[in-house]
Amino acid sequence: MEAAHQHILQAAIDQCAVEPIHIPGSIQPHGVLFTLDEELRILQVSANSRQLVEKEAEDLLGTPVLDLVTPETRSSFERLIREAAFTYVNPFRVTIPVAGGVRFFDGIAHVAEGLGTILELEMDPSEEASAKPSTEGIDNYLQIVQRSLEMIAGATDVVHIADVMAREIKAFTGFDRVMVYRFAPDFHGEVIAECVEKDMEPFLGLHYPASDIPAQARALYLKNHVRLLQDVDAAAVPLIPERHPTTGAPLDMSRSVLRAMSPIHVQYLKNMEVGASLSISLVVEDKLWGLIACHHRTARFVPYAIRATACLYAIVLSAQLKVKQRNLENHRIASARRMALSILTGLRDYSEPMGSLPSMLPRFMELFAASGAAMISGTDSFRCGNTPDEKVLADFHRELGDGSGDGVRISSQACREFRALENCGATAAGIVAIHLGVSDWLVLFRGEMARQVTWAGDPRKPASMPGDGPLRPRHSFSAWLEEVRGESAPWPEETAALTSEVRTGILEILRKRNIILSRSNQDLRRFAGLVAHEVKNHLQTGIFALSMLEERMSQFDPSVQQLATLGRERLDGLSKFTNDMLAFSETETNTPEERFGLVEMVGDIVRELNVAGVTEGAVIRVSELPEILAPRIQVRHLISNLIRNALIHARHGGRLLTVEVASRNTDEGTVVVVRDDGRGIPDIQHRRIFEYFYRGDTSNDSGTGIGLAFCAQIVERMGHKLWVENAQPAGTAFCFTVTCAD
């Protein structure tokens, strides 16, 4: 039963969040509303017309609204309506004859597109006979604004400005409590300033859930910047007819000053022991930044002129909020950009910018006010400060993916958004991740900032539904503490722009460095080719001479023959080295991609190796392989080198060697594997195996130490990854990613 009740309650709360509060079909009773056509004839009127203008609603429908005033004021009344409706300059004074004299109203008009003109006549219940519009406080408006601007001139934050607002608006309007309420990015609100009567409970510092002011209410605060609820106990007055006679739809009252409040909102205020309320929007850069919320313990009417003046005051102070907020942001941004420029300048001076990034992690931590940083590339990572361990970072790297989109990830709730980080609140509650190409990510970390939030009542129980009754807002607004875990301090708004600039700067440095390296590599290849050709020519002569000497000396002195054999073998090794150098120099850097099948290519390679006689004592198996999109010549060099490497280095104990070329699908994409069941490579050598001239403990092999480094360069140039694994139950597996043609 409890679960069913909670389900019904949640459904009611969800329905409340989409309540059409802009079309209530009723108004507050301290005024009368007319909907007028182009000829100013009455299409709709509120049902309280008899009480306020002494005319029955049914009798007014279809008649000119100008008939309400005396003949001598008709023309001025018409002019005021039309001017106010189109320029929204309100209020204007309206005098209506009634039994025993006249009654004075503030007239407020506006045009509702497609609906005609909405005219509202508002009367102060406490001053019905006043012949002049109430201007209490208006004469002092300039002095109030000037005083406020002087007080906030030296303000260092927006809270100072909000405090001035609360005090001045309270003095200006006479409400018992005035609060400045700021919206958070998730639209929950916090009271950041308050001026309240001494015998009332303070609300300063309390947080209110977003459901207290739902989205449709926030939208109305952007359309109508001032809202008065004169008396929470006053019954709403319906419109007659209920629907607009032309459109057949309820009247859109978004800009109406008399619009009746939602019954749920009225009950909400009653639960807070509020008798009247006044809300003034604080709009910064066309967004609802917050509200000035005024509460009174009893009914309280505030004339339109005073409300408009308070609204104007709020506009001026909102501009100051904008200026102060912008100045603070600009100062932070300028400081961050100077530091970022310093980092990028330092990075530019390194001959290998990518390799130097790990040493600059402390600078990046300072730039982003982070508690840890890491450079992650697949299973490899360089860490600084407070970060998750290497295994977690490897899993996190897989979740980050390929950096598609803008190549940036920013979160202050990362341990909730990334599965790999779910138990890493202490180190990685917040992250800024920057993709630097291929599989490289620069990640900044922030640990969680455990904090207590004081809510005005339990935010988990925004409403109740007793029995089968209607939805009721919560009754208790007592301070309710919530401990927030798993979140870091929020990243400043400018973080996204700063991150993008840093990423662009690093990528540009890498791009320029790659151009330089590409030119250097081309020069190196040409030089290597020239040297290799020259050396090879001399080697061939030397090998031939030693072979002849070896053959002839076999009939004479065996020791001389052994020396000749040793010399020939060494020259053979040097000849292989020059062959590798020639292959290196002849590999093109910008070979176009082609679509081709790997099965056919591997078959051709195996046939060549058979002819060369290097497959003796080995079996080469070719499993199902995909069609790929890649530079054909480079892939052929790559696979040929990997198979040759297995045939040369993996043999063990004279037994038959098996080499298999296969593929598999992984989180990294399609992976091609060249696997052997030979003697294997120790784990400690895995990281260095792709370095030029590194031969591990295989110094007795005839390898040159170039082949695998050459393979790594080919794969890197294609934008893919190459790594080594231990094969099961024995042997070695070289793996590289490919792009499938389909």
Can you tell me the distance from the alpha carbon of 30 to that of 715, in angstroms, rounded to the nearest whole number?
79
Higher pLDDT pick, 544 / 395? 395
Higher pLDDT pick, 574 / 234? 234
- Exposure string over 458-486, b if 16+ CB within 10 A, otherwise e: ebeebbebeeeeebbbbeebeebeeeeeb
Can you tell me the distance from the alpha carbon of 479 to that of 475, in angstroms, rounded to the nearest whole number?
12
CA dihedral 63, 65, 71, 77 (to 10 degrees): -160
Residue 334: which H helix or E strand, with range? helix 304-348
Higher pLDDT pick, 279 / 438? 279
Can you tell me the distance from the alpha carbon of 573 to that of 734, in angstroms, rounded to the nearest whole number?
24
Helix, strand, coil percentages in the chain from 3-state DSSP, rounded to 5? 45, 25, 35
3-state secondary structure of 699: coil
**What phi and psi, each to the nearest 5 degrees, are found at residue 28?**
-75, 150
Can you tell me the distance from the alpha carbon of 422 to that of 730, in angstroms, rounded to the nearest whole number?
36
Please report, rounded to a whole number, the percentage of residues in the chain having pLDDT higher than 90: 33
Q: Which residues contact 338 (CB under 8 A, 6 or more apart)?
A: none
Task: Of 273, 333, 284, 294, give the one whose Cα is nearest residue 195.
Answer: 294
Model confidence, pTM = 0.60
Instruction: Pull the structure tokens for residue 159.
Output: 């809270």
Instruction: Pull the structure tokens for residue 529.
Output: 């080719």
pLDDT tens for each residue of 175-199: 999 999 999 888 888 899 999 999 9
CA dihedral 258, 262, 264, 268 (to 10 degrees): -30
| For the ranges 366-380, 546-560, 644-658, the one whose mean pLDDT is highest | 366-380
pLDDT tens for each residue of 604-639: 999 988 887 788 888 999 998 999 999 888 898 889
- DSSP readout, 369-432? T-SEEEEEETTEEEEEES---HHHHHHHHHHHTT--TTSEEEES-HHHH-GGGTT-HHHHSEEE
Higher pLDDT pick, 453 / 595? 595
- Exposure string over 697-725, b if 16+ CB within 10 A, otherwise e: eeeeeebbbbbbbbbbbbbebbebbbbbe
Can you tell me the distance from the alpha carbon of 391 to that of 421, in angstroms, rounded to the nearest whole number?
11
Which regions of the chain carry the CATH code 3.30.450.40? Answer: 138-327
pLDDT at 125 exceeding the cut of 90: no
pLDDT confidence tier of residue 252, bands split at 50, 70 and 90: very high
Can you tell me the distance from the alpha carbon of 240 to that of 621, in angstroms, rounded to the nearest whole number?
89
Query: 106-115, 139-148, 200-209, 645-654 — which is least confidently predicted?
Result: 139-148
Burial of 208 (0-12, 13-18, 19+ CB in 10 A): buried
Architecture of domain 591-742: 2-Layer Sandwich (3.30)
Long-range pairs for 561-567: beta carbons < 8 A, 24 or more residues apart? 567/542
Q: Is 515 left (phi over 0), alpha (psi -120 to 50) or beta?
A: alpha
Q: Which residues contact 595 (CB under 8 A, 6 or more apart)?
A: 627, 628, 629, 741
* Topology (CATH) of 138-327: Beta-Lactamase (3.30.450)
Q: Which pLDDT does position 539 carry in this prediction?
A: 56
Q: Which pLDDT does position 655 carry in this prediction?
A: 74
Contact 429, 486 (CB under 8 A): yes
Can you tell me the distance from the alpha carbon of 52 to that of 286, in angstroms, rounded to the nearest whole number?
38
Contact 605, 643 (CB under 8 A): yes
pLDDT at 471 exceeding the cut of 50: no
Which regions of the chain carry the CATH code 3.30.565.10? Answer: 591-742
Q: Which pLDDT does position 28 carry in this prediction?
A: 97
pLDDT at 42 exceeding the cut of 80: yes
Q: Which pLDDT does position 107 carry in this prediction?
A: 92
Peptide bond into 729 cis (omega under 30): yes
- DSSP readout, 293-316? EEEESS-----HHHHHHHHHHHHH
How many angstroms separate the first and last alpha carbons of the chain?
Answer: 54
Instruction: Pull the structure tokens for residue 254.
Output: 């978004």
- Exposure string over 603-627, b if 16+ CB within 10 A, otherwise e: eebbeebeeeeebeebebebeebbe
Architecture of domain 26-122: 2-Layer Sandwich (3.30)
Which regions of the chain carry the CATH code 3.30.450.20? Answer: 26-122
What is the pLDDT of the chain when averaged over all its residues?
80
Can you tell me the distance from the alpha carbon of 280 to that of 645, in angstroms, rounded to the nearest whole number?
77
Contact 581, 710 (CB under 8 A): no
Indicate the angle between helix axes 361-368 and 495-553, nearest 10 degrees.
170
Strand duo 207-208 + 177-183: pairing: unpaired
Query: 375-384, 395-404, 696-705, 733-742 — which is least confidently predicted?
Result: 696-705
pLDDT at 410 exceeding the cut of 80: yes
Strand duo 657-666 + 618-622: pairing: parallel
In this prediction, residues 134-162 reach a mean pLDDT of: 72
Q: How far is CA 79 from CA 32, 84, 86, 93, 494, in A?
A: 20, 8, 11, 12, 50
| Biggest CA-to-CA distance, the chain | 150
3-state secondary structure of 454: strand
Q: Which pLDDT does position 139 carry in this prediction?
A: 57
Contact 337, 498 (CB under 8 A): yes
Cβ atoms within 10 Å, residue 436:
19
